[in-house]
Amino acid sequence: MAGPQNRTASETQDAGSRTITGPGNRNGSDELIFFVNGRKIVERNPDPETTLLTYLRRKLGLTGTKLGCAEGGCGACTVMVSRYQPASRGLLHCAVNACLAPLCSLHLVAVTTVEGIGSVARKLHPVQERIARSHGSQCGFCTPGIVMSMYALLRNNPRPSMADVEEAFQGNLCRCTGYRPILEGYKTFTVDGGCCGGKGKDGCCMTNGKGGLQNSKVGLEEATSLYNTADFEPYDPTQEVIFPPELMSLSKCEESSRSLCFRGERTTWLQPDSLHEFLLLKWKHPDARVVVGNTEVGIEVKFKNMAYPVVLAPGSIAELNAVTHTEDGIVFGAACTLSHMGAVLRKAVQSLPPHQTEVFQAVLEQLQWFAGQHIRNVAAVGGNIMTASPISDLNPVFMAAGCKLTLMDKDGSREVLMDDSFFTGYRKTAVEPQEILLSIHIPYSQKSQFISAFKQSPRREDDISIVTAAMSVTFSPGTDVVKDLRLSFGGMAPVTVLARRTADRLLGRQWGEELLQEACSLLAEEMSLDPSAPGGMVSYRRTLTLSLFYKFYLRVLQKLGLQGLSVQEVSSECLSATEVYRPETPSSVQVYQAVPEGQSLGDVVGRPIMHLSALKQATGEAVYCDDVPLYENELYLALITSTKAHARILSVDTAAAERSPGVVCCLFASDVPGSNITGMRQDETVFADGQVTCVGHIVGAVVADTQLHAQRAAKAVKIQYEELEPVVTIQEAIVAQSFYKPIRTIQSGDLEAGFKQADHILDGEIHIGGQEHFYLETNVTLAVPREDGEMELFISSQSPSDSQAFVAKALGVPANRVLVRVKRMGGGFGGKESRTTVLSTVVAVAADKLKRPVRCMLDRDEDMLITGGRHPFYGKYKVGFLQTGKVVALDVTFYSNAGNSMDLSQAIMERALFHMENSYSVPNVRGQGFICRTNLPSNTAFRGFGGPQGLMVAENWITDVAHCLGRSAEEVRRLNLYLEGESTPYNQILQGVTLGRCWDECLSRSEYERRRAAADLFNRQNRWTKRGLAVVPTKFGIAFTATFLNQAGALVHIYRDGSVLLTHGGTEMGQGLHTKMVQVASRVLGIPCSRIYVSETSTNTVANTSPTAASASSDLNGAAVLNACQTLLKRLEPYRTQNPKGSWEDWVKAAYLDRVNLSANGFYKTPDLGYDFDMNSGRVFNYYSYGVACSEVEIDCLTGAHKNLSTTIVMDVGHSLNPAIDIGQVEGGFMQGLGLFTLEELHYSPRGVLLTRGPGSYKIPAFGDIPTQLTVSLLRDAPNDKAIFASKAVGEPPLFLASSVFYAIKDAIRAARAESGTTGPFRLDSPASAERIRNACCDRFTKLCAPAQPGTFTPWSVRV
């Protein structure tokens, strides 16, 4: 179906006539009627198990809406759903996750997708245009979802505040941009700095300075604007697409209120139209699942293999949506959405006396951080109660407040109190099977009652909790004597619990220090957890119960004091513990060097031009691999993977799978026509053969007619194993001596003499956790067999040539029969360099066997399980230093967890060793690297490629040196920085060192001295909140360490009309490589960018390409493009000379008529590279990228939560080819590093099972994690003579600068430890999660919750 319309009211009247109708009805099914982008859809056979997303993409061909996670956690699938509300006679617009929305829930609903609001071909909507022009779209895969979240917000509120915008994006993730440009672009819509739509009272906001963000002081020749808001189309809310008139009529007539029945392959969907009918159906089908928002059931069906024969959908029943205000509270129908409940409670808080709304405010506090807006828009309050999650955010509040529930069956109703008898077991309640939850009564609070609610989660926004708590205390009137106390906790048992013993012991006591002491002792005893408890973090969770009670204790003291009671005053240094977190809107500055005066306007090099695909990405028209239209006879493949980490395969039973609907065949090792041996080191197999060596090892595949059928059949395959003992962790590998060869060593100077010279020697260690790539587009391959054994593959890959070679080998054909095509990727980050071949070879084998096109896009949980990530590292060091802080000797050993194959682990370890000293000159040094062979999926390349791990260990020992001497870490770092002409441990002389300049500018721009003094003062004044600062440098070597990869090719065609087709060896994954290559060609050929086009990267245009990796792609491919363009210019030169006043088109035509070849090959290889480990000689890197970051954080010592207050980055990128793209890379890399060092944690079971397999359990940074103040400055006047047009690489180097946040956290913890009398070096492993921060801030609460001794229990997860 073609992209729909963006029409105004006058054009919409014929919308109803354009109808899409499904085939004839399945037995007994009703028709489902809904509208998509103004078009009427009549679906006669809706399957209750089909989601809106699948229907949009596969049935309607609307591929702008993307699949990112299938669990409502990333927002890539966001669409707007609009309904007519008979009660209010108004329209309700909601942003929802199409991946969770059941198709059957959409009867009489209007769906708007990204295609429906604008297109490049017709007209862009301002929401689409602004994200693109403000550089807020890099890979673009998340962009349509972000566009639709913003669009839905504007439809409800045309002039939102920045707080509204930030709330709207709570359910959206982006892995590329670092979020700043998205917020900045959309700030132009807001009252805070927004667009007036051309109707501003003091002139247009575009011209009066209100449209942009404020910039701090900047010098001459420095540019701070990356785009011009005057280029934006004004936003006019009156021009929006109207609600389909036919749908309005249908919604108002009686038709809309009849009951519905939809029958699918396995499930029947029953939608009753009255409460009476609902009760009868529940009596008839007591085991039926009740669905309103599908935010829980959708997950169960997708990820827990649950099948529900009958689903009841009572979402439209009036009684279940009713809100009734009573004398003692508000009654909410069980189907009320959380968004609606929040709106009602906010109104009540504004209109009622404060003492009555304590419960409401506690509920609102939890709702603010409950999932994301998209989930709150559809999730029902009744669903939240009935799923009985032990970590529910709201149930502890309902329990502490004594909420009452009304239950009902066909024979009548009963009221139950929500207390600890309501939850009868894990995810079980006291509700009888035939009963329904009708409503919840949330009471007003009393005058002498105080309630607080708390939630602690790994990430603040859109995250499931570690521990939730709600506490309510009621005092005898006019006293501080406890009359009633309820302490409710989630995350401390299989159910939400009340700490009854503790509460009972404290009744009749005065609210003071004695009560606090006893409460903590009692809670520590009552809230005990088994050391093996699911979820782990046992000591932390137990400590949280005490810390949160302490916060409650202080808040109540404060309130009692305000009521005039004589209670102990909360000391000023403890006040910060009573504060409720409120996010601040971030502000930012970007600084870069303007192009030289006199540079012609036509020369775009050095200018911040927009990513060439940004507009297409914002409209959903950019085509990704899985967006390629389905072939007529296409099949879908699903993988069969191992559930054991190390085992022999005894038998595989495929009988049930082969009987499943739609299945065509199963594939195993015996079906591989060529070689089953594969992998970068030929130590892997296409399919497991007799043995599996990790959970997720590919054993086979099922091919079927649809994705759903293939996946269901794959789950039906039964494999019997004989288990072998796995090696999972680095420590286990060290004990077992399970290492890959070679063990690399780099040594320089005289280590023994160095340690003798040292005044002090210290030993230390640090563990750096792994990281999931979390590219928004998972791995995907479409294989199309052609004649003569040819195979055409569409792959989301950074390395088309490797994919070509591996597929050719598996098929047993020469490489010239395999064509690999890469248009663009939805993110890569190294994860699609070598591991894409794991999937592409399997899909190609299937297509070859069946001689039909075969497609497979991995689900997020599969991708995380199978494809590996960043290597976890363990670093041990011994460092010798003088009293001055000068480091004179270093002995460091690295251990990496490589997984079950070598892949790229050797090169990764080598790069870690090449970065072991970071930016510090150490005369005597030895580094050793051990690559651990374990039974985990093979770990692989990830932005930085081992560099960040090596650099992190270096920053750890330099911090230890400072702590040991009692000096500031910044002083010790500055003292040890490299100088021009010094030599590295691998004997490379440093030239063009800009470290000192970056350092000085960073300190100046960040106002470090002022911040340091302010932080010290803050720390003296606050006991439970501490601030920390850190300044961290980086030196990152640019080149592939495998010398042969430092080459690139390009192919440039000039056509007769003067247009140019440019092809090069690099792939586009959002980093703007194609844009930069067009800029290079534009400068060399002297023609506008609009005349040059890059279509795709393919193995039949430029052969034998190196992977797009190592940050070197602009350098290598740019030089190859330059070479090709210069060849063409030389050929055109005679015609320019003959006709100097002619145009480009004239010269091209003349050359063509003169039979001149207008196609040219370009080639480049980086000169003078090569290094010998045995001799420790040669030149490893072409040059280095330098940068320095200063970050300030604030930690909550009681919970371990932290705020990123500010970050200033100064980055040397030479003469930037495109400052907008380069600043985008710096910010995106920084935010990815922020995840690595402070947030992202992969959990594995002791048997090697990955426990974190999606955005629900694995948290990448979100919009709310940006530093409140972010300054990025590109170092001026720093040309680099080693790369194209004096530029420098920028992809990987900035990532490590996020460690400045980690070391700022460590600095803040140091201040907290000093309060408890603990000083000197201490170990803090990465990431600095809330758990690690809290446990490191040792105090009286942590002492009450000592951890169990290792070895006395089996932990839930192990550190790999």
Half-sphere exposure of 783 (CA within 13 A, CB side): 32
Residue 474 near residue 507, CB atoms below 8 Å: no
Compute the distance between CA of residue 392 and CA of residue 487 in angstroms, rounded to an integer: 15
Is the per-residue pLDDT at 1117 higher than 50? yes
Residue 485 near residue 473, CB atoms below 8 Å: yes
Is the per-residue pLDDT at 1030 higher than 80? yes
Q: Say whether 793 sits in a helix, a strand or coil.
A: strand
Kind and range of the H or E run holding 158: none
- Catalytic hit among 43, 792, 1292, 1331: 1292
Phi/psi of residue 1214, nearest 5 degrees: 65, -140
Is the per-residue pLDDT at 204 higher than 70? no
Question: Percentage of the chain with pLDDT > 90?
Answer: 92
Question: Percentage of the chain with pLDDT > 70?
Answer: 96
Residue 642 binned pLDDT confidence (cut-offs 50, 70, 90): very high
Residue range 669-685: mean pLDDT, rounded = 98
Is the per-residue pLDDT at 4 higher than 80? no
Annotated active-site residue 1145? The verdict is no
pLDDT digit string, tens, across residues 324-343: 999 999 999 999 999 999 99
CA distances from 599 to 602, 607, 1092, 1118, 1294 (A): 8, 10, 20, 20, 29
Residue 78 near residue 107, CB atoms below 8 Å: no
pLDDT digit string, tens, across residues 363-412: 999 999 999 999 999 999 999 999 999 999 999 999 999 999 999 999 99
Query: So what's the pLDDT on residue 9?
Result: 33
Residue 1 binned pLDDT confidence (cut-offs 50, 70, 90): very low
Strand partners, 213: none
Residue range 196-203: mean pLDDT, rounded = 44
Nearest to 1045 by CA among 1099, 1103, 1104, 986: 1104
Is the per-residue pLDDT at 660 higher than 80? yes
Average pLDDT taken over every residue of the chain: 94
Residue 1067 binned pLDDT confidence (cut-offs 50, 70, 90): very high
Query: So what's the pLDDT on residue 307?
Result: 87
**In what order do the strands lie in the sheet containing 691-692?**
691-692, 647-653, 718-723
> For tokens 């065509």, what's the residue?
664
pLDDT digit string, tens, across residues 456-500: 999 998 899 999 999 999 999 999 999 999 999 999 999 999 999
pLDDT digit string, tens, across residues 273-285: 999 999 999 999 9
Question: Cis omega before residue 1294 (within 30°)?
Answer: no
Query: So what's the pLDDT on residue 87?
Result: 77
Nearest to 1002 by CA among 1218, 1273, 798: 1273
Phi/psi of residue 296, nearest 5 degrees: -105, -50
Q: Say whether 935 sits in a helix, a strand or coil.
A: coil
Query: So what's the pLDDT on residue 1051?
Result: 98
Q: Please tell me the pTM assigned to this model.
A: 0.96
Query: So what's the pLDDT on residue 200?
Result: 46
Compute the distance between CA of residue 1237 and CA of residue 1298 in angstroms, rounded to an integer: 7
Compute the distance between CA of residue 522 and CA of residue 489 in angstroms, rounded to an integer: 14
Question: Cis omega before residue 742 (within 30°)?
Answer: yes
Compute the distance between CA of residue 1169 and CA of residue 1179 in angstroms, rounded to an integer: 5
Query: So what's the pLDDT on residue 26?
Result: 57
Is the per-residue pLDDT at 776 higher than 50? yes
Residue 803 near residue 793, CB atoms below 8 Å: yes
Is the per-residue pLDDT at 566 higher than 50? yes
Query: So what's the pLDDT on residue 296?
Result: 86
Phi/psi of residue 857, nearest 5 degrees: -120, 120
| CA 682, chain centre distance (Å) | 32
Q: Give whichever of 211-220, 290-299, 1283-1292 has the largest mean pLDDT.
A: 1283-1292
Is the per-residue pLDDT at 823 higher than 90? yes
Burial status of residue 1155 (CB atoms within 10 A of its CB: 0-12, 13-18, 19 or more): exposed
Among 293-297, 450-454, 1275-1279, the least confident range: 293-297
Residue 519 binned pLDDT confidence (cut-offs 50, 70, 90): very high
Query: So what's the pLDDT on residue 192?
Result: 81
Is the per-residue pLDDT at 1134 higher than 90? yes
pLDDT digit string, tens, across residues 923-948: 999 999 999 999 999 999 999 999 99
Residue 362 near residue 403, CB atoms below 8 Å: no
Among 43-57, 203-217, 943-957, the least confident range: 203-217
β-pairing, 887-899 vs 873-881, is antiparallel
Residue range 882-894: mean pLDDT, rounded = 98
Residue range 502-523: mean pLDDT, rounded = 97
The DSSP line for 365-408 is HHHHTSS-HHHHTT-BHHHHHHTT-TT-SSHHHHHHTT-EEEEE
Residue 20 binned pLDDT confidence (cut-offs 50, 70, 90): confident
Q: Say whether 1032 sits in a helix, a strand or coil.
A: strand
Query: So what's the pLDDT on residue 258?
Result: 87
